[in-house]
Every structure is written in C-alpha cells, then in structure tokens.
Structure 1
Amino acid sequence: MKNREVLIPRAHRHYLPGYTWHLTHRCHNKEFLLREPGIRLRWVHWLREARKREGLKVLNYAVTRNHIHLIVIDDGSSRCIQRSMQLIEGRTAQEYNDAFSRRGAFWEDRYHATAIDSRRHLLQCVIYIDLNMVRAGVVTHPREWLHCGFHEIRNPKKRNGIIAHPKLLELLGTSSHDEMIKMLDSHLSDLLVSGHCSRESKWTEAVAVGSKHFLQTYKEKLSRRGGRKNIRWLAGESENLILREESMVYESSSGTTDGRDYLSGENKYSWLECGGSPFGGG
C-alpha cells in the first residue's frame, strides 16, 4: 500500500473501559473531504463492517461534510473501538485518496472523546448529534440528512443494521422501541420548536458528562492515571455536570458552515501517522 497514509489511534490517559463514548473527528485542516455523498456512504459502509468484524456497539452516528460523530459502547473487549476506528477511518481515507489520486492525511491527528452517562445524558447526546446539520443550517430537520443514525434508530433493519437497539433501549431506560422513539421525538421536537439547537461546549470540551455520582466514580477510576480534574456545575443542575481538565490548552476552531467550532475543545487525543494496513498495531 505505497503512497498511502493511515491514521491509527494512540492510547490516551482519559480512556477507561466499560463506558459509553461520544467520539468526534475532523478532516485534515478542516477540509470538506466528506462533502460528496459517495464518500460519506463509504464511511457508513465501513462503520457497518466494524460492527460485523469487531462487534462494535453503535448507539448513534452522523457524517457531516468535514467531521464525524459517533456514540459507541466500550464493553471491555480488548481494543474493539481502536480496531474499529482503524478500519473505518483508514479504509475511508484510502478509498478517497485512491479515487482522487490524492496523497497525505485525510483526518486530523486529534480526535475528541467524551464519556457519557446513561439515560437523560445519553438522550441529550443522541439528539445533539441528530441536530448537527440543523445547527449548520444545511437542513431544517434531522430526517433530511441521510448519512446518520436517525433513520435506523426509528426504523430498525432486520439485516445489516448498524445501531445496537437493545443497548440503546437499555441505556435510555426505555422498555420498548415505541417508548424510546416517543421520548426521542418529544425531546427533539421541543428543541426544534424552541430553537435551542445551538452548539453545547460540554460535548466538545469535557472529559465526561453525567450525574455527580457518575463523574465521581469516573474520576476515582481515572485518578490512578494522574492528572488534575475539575467537576463543574452546568446551569445549576445537580444532575447535569461535566468533568473537565483544567490544565489543557483550548484549541479554537475557525471553520465555517457545518464545521464551525463544533470540535473545538480540550479533550483531544493524538493519532499516529503510519504507512500500511489500517489493521496494523497501535
């Protein structure tokens, strides 16, 4: 695989097994390398392959024109998320570069990861991802954007699906698919009607988002790895807190349209650049 550059994840100090993670990753230099529907479909294809090959449990996703959102569960299996990201992002980059006779990095060398509590916090994160292209002004409703988990969440596929519906039901605290969709649509409708669809920094600048108990437990586990952390109250809500690392330097994004400032923040992790297969070690 000469003349190809593949990005693979490096282990980072905020990672803990057994958590639900919201991952975001932007194209190299904020370029709109995902602007063509065809390449977005290929990203979705490799996400589906990661579910089949690696057992990746996906709760929601969205592919925009220059970055991706992904909510996944780490069930403790060895390197499942890492191998999945190597497959999805490595193969997408290779196919794009081959198709356009392009060389060089496709993805930025840093991605953002936030640990998410279950129930109300997961609900908020799922809807936040659904509203990404509404915030960008590209669509007026999430159903108008095809390359996302919005459609499959509401219409489960019998074969070759991506969304882990049983886990999504469980973590949202709902007992049936109809109950889950009713709750999701109600929350979504409230935000669309009120116009409260703007960017929320907690999803892009936090190490973790959840209840006080969730964050205290997370922080205790994380403390063995070192690093100062600070639990901050949001809008006076005792059950809606974020865990942030004070020592990290903010990295502001100046992009426009559907990527502006959505990925700026402090909880970013390095990726390694290496030649060869996306299945390689790391």
Structure 2
Amino acid sequence: MVSTDHHLARCLTYIDLNMVRAGVVKDPAIWSESGYAEIRNGRQRYQLVDRRTLAALLELSTLGDVRLARQSWIKASIEQKMLTRDTCWTEWLAVGSAEFVEEIKGGLGIRGRHRDVRNAGRECILRENEFRWGSLQSKSGL
C-alpha cells in the first residue's frame, strides 16, 4: 500500500474496530455483519464488499493481499490499544489528502461554502466553520 491510500486504510480499520470499541466482541472477525469479517471469512451470498475495487483502491494485487493487510492493521491497532473514539472519523466531513478534501468540498456546491479545509497533521480535513456556528448560536441564544 502506498501512502496515498493511508487514509482509506485508517478509515477501514476504524470502522472494523467499532464493535470492539463498543465491547461487543474482542475480534472484529467475530462480528459477521462487518466488512472485515466478509473479507476475512468470505461470503458467497449477499456479498457487500466489492473486493476487486477495494484491492485496486488499496493498490493491492489480490484478495489474499487485502486480507493480510487488513489483519495486520487490526492486529496492530489492538496491540497498540488504539481503541478509543477518534474525532477524525466521527466529527469531520472528509479526511484525506488536500486534493481529496478539496474535491469533496467542491462537490458540496453551495453547501461547502462555509466549510473549512484544514491541515490536521497527517491529513487534511473538511469541517464546519466554527466561527460561523458560534455566531449563529450566540444570535439564537443557544
């Protein structure tokens, strides 16, 4: 996987670990409704994950490579105790490269006008403009 795919890998791992964070399971492979379990264990009927597209987006050659990569991301996250809520994936509108985030903002049209693109360390983010919301809240008495 190349660095441009880092954001997708992080997002997938965060989602894969939702039920672990919630205390429902200790391993996301146990949660049969997850994309991780589908990639790891396979699903013949009602397949949800487009495996070829996912492999291409992650720049991995085979489904086996996708399985191994996702297993290593999950294992590393669990070992490093990276099981807390991350505002990056829960509060921001888009996360990724500057080009990706600007493209998302542009796609929002007029709805993107009052949203900020900011550099947040390893990634850029798209979020609501805090000043705008603060102004609206003070005017409305919230």
Q: Secondary structure at the match of 2:61?
A: coil
Gaps in structure 1 of 5+ consecutive residues:
1-117, 250-282
Amino acid at match of 2:33: H
- Partner residue of 1:196 out of 60, 69, 82: 82
Partner of residue 124 from structure 2, selected from 211, 220, 241: 241
1:139 to partner: Cα distance: 2.1
Report deviation, 1:177.
0.8
d(CA) in 1 for partners of 2:116 and 2:24? Answer: 36
Q: What residue ranges of structure 2 are gaps of 5+ in the alignment?
A: 135-142
Given residue 182 of structure 1, which amino acid in structure 2 is its aligned partner? L
- Give the residue type in structure 1 aligned to 2:128: E
Query: CA offsets, 1:6-56, max 9 Å, x none?
Result: xxxxxxxxxxxxxxxxxxxxxxxxxxxxxxxxxxxxxxxxxxxxxxxxxxx
- 1:154: which partner in 2? 40
Give the 5 Å matches for 1:160-239.
Answer: 160-225=46-111, 227-234=113-120, 236-237=121-122
Find the aligned partners of 1:194 and 1:224 in 2 and give their Cα distance.
Answer: 41
| Residues 1-282 of structure 1 aligned to structure 2 (within 5 Å) | 119-225=5-111, 227-234=113-120, 236-237=121-122, 240-246=123-129, 247-248=132-133
CA distance in 1, matches of 2:100, 2:20: 30
For 2:113, give the aligned amino acid. Answer: G
Moved over 6 A (4+): none
RMSD between aligned residues:
2.1
Alignment length (residue pairs): 129
Q: State the shift of 1:199 in Å.
A: 0.6
Identity %: 36
Corresponding residue SS for 2:117: strand
State TM-score, norm by structure 2: 0.78
> Which deviations, in whole Å up to 9, do the C-alpha atoms of 1:47-68 show, x marking residues without a partner?
xxxxxxxxxxxxxxxxxxxxxx
SS of aligned partner of 2:108: helix
**Structure-1-length-normalised TM-score:** 0.42
State the alpha-carbon separation in 2 of the partners of residues 151 and 226 from structure 1. Answer: 35
Q: Give 1:191 deviation, angstroms.
A: 0.7
